[in-house]
Each structure stands twice: as C-alpha cells, then as structure tokens.
Amino acid sequence: MDRDPTLAPRPGKLWLVGAGPGDPDLLTLRAARLLASADIVVHDGLVGDGVLALIPPHVPRISVAKQRSRHTMKQELINELIVREALDGKQVVRLKGGDPFIFGRGGEELDAARDAGVACEVVPGITAAAGCAAQAGLPLTHRDDASAVSFVAGQCKDLSDQDWSGLAGHGRTLVIYMGLATASAIADKLIADGVAPDLPVAVIERGTTADARVLRTLLTDLGDLVAREAVQSPALIVVGKVAARADALDCLGAPGIAEQIKDLT
C-alpha cells in the first residue's frame, strides 16, 4: 500500500549487518529479520549465496565486491552510497561478510553515517575466524596450548616492516585473514622473528560451506602448501599448536621438508 503523502517522511536508517562466515544457518535471527524488511541491501562479495537468497526478490541489492588490488567500488564511494540512501529515507542494510568490525571496514562506514547525521546500528555476525575454526574442530584457545589469540590481515603493504613480534609462538594462536597471496612471505617473516619453523599451521578454505577444505602442515611449508594444493580465496591461516587439533588433511608431504626444518632449528 502506498504511503500517505501527508505523513512526515519516514526517517532512514543504516544497519551494518554481519552475514557470518558463509553458511546461511549461521546468520543471526536479527540479521535475517532485517534482510526481510530492508528497502535496499548493499552487500560484499564474500556474502554467501544462501544468505543473499533470504533477501526478498523485490528488494534492490547492490554488490560492492572487493578483490585483491581490484575494487568494484572504492570505500569512499560505498560510504557515500549508503549515506545517500539512508538520507533518502530508506532502511539500508549494509551486509558484510563475517562481522562488520573484524576487517570489514565497518568502523569507517559507521563514522561516515555519524558525520552525516544518519542513524546507524551494528548487528554483529560470527566472524570467519570463529566460525571456520569451529567447523574444523580447531579450538582457537585451549588450556594446554593457547591462552591468547591475535587476528591480522596478511595483505598489508610492506609486510616485512610490520611488527608481529609476540603474535605467534608458545601459548598463542595467530589467525591470518587475506594471507594466501603472501603466505610464503608470512612464513618467512614469522620464522625470522623467532617462531619455530615446525609450529603447526592450518589453512581453512571456504570455511563453513559445503565445499570447505582444511589442510594442515608446518609453518616452514605454508607457502608451498598453498601453491601445491591450489588453495583459493576466501581462506584463513591459523598458526599455533592448536592447529594440530584441527580435523584436517595432513599435507606435510613435500620432499625435503624434514631437512628444511632441521636446517632451521
């Protein structure tokens, strides 16, 4: 039914909604309700098809998918888009993979909304680290193995200059997002910073989806594993003793790895 034109315009609002790691069953109830009632949905490329299927057919959707070194829409333009639609009186759902505030640039979008005077609310989602590790039977913390967890982005520029001291090693778990392209450099950097080359590593590809794959090796073999197994994005890298607990395919099979480890220790 058309809205009575004599009524005051409905105020717009922006919702930053976490879509979870991929499996639509891991979407929160609140997120599902917002998708059903949205006027427009602006979504990331990593949002799974099963989640997108929950959007009613009549609701416009705009993909702002990002890939390494190639963005469909720059972040500044995304900010302008969602603010403009909310100022136009629409209920805008900005649907983001995982959780909006874990490597999702949700903080930047929240700032843009605040600066424009747009009401904004954040709906958390299961971040990829928690969801994918759980599916793999990999506890990110464990009383015997790890009491601290760190999340880092592996595609940072000038990776060798980043200060990762203390992020991996005894009693710690390191979870690396967006690290496939720099996997060899990541392993070299950690080893150079004193992390044992035989520390277990797990790579979780397409976590929580039907075609998920979990591979396990040692840190010194990380870059070679990614290449050998043709691991595709999205994928997470988990470094730490807890990685040995994952329900994973043991891929420490490349010739010469044992000798490499011996030479490095």
Catalytic residues: 44, 66
Task: Print the SS3 string covering 98-150.
Answer: ECCCCCCCHHHHHHHHHHCCCCEEEECCCCHHHHHHHHCCCCCCECCCEEEEE
Residue 75 · residue 107 · CB < 8 Å: no
Burial of 193 (0-12, 13-18, 19+ CB in 10 A): middle
Question: 3-state DSSP call for residue 177?
Answer: strand
Facing residues of 175 across strands?
151, 238
State how far the Cα of 87 lies from the Cα of 71, in Å rounded to an integer. Answer: 25
- The C-alpha atoms of residue 101 and residue 121 are separated, in whole angstroms, by 12
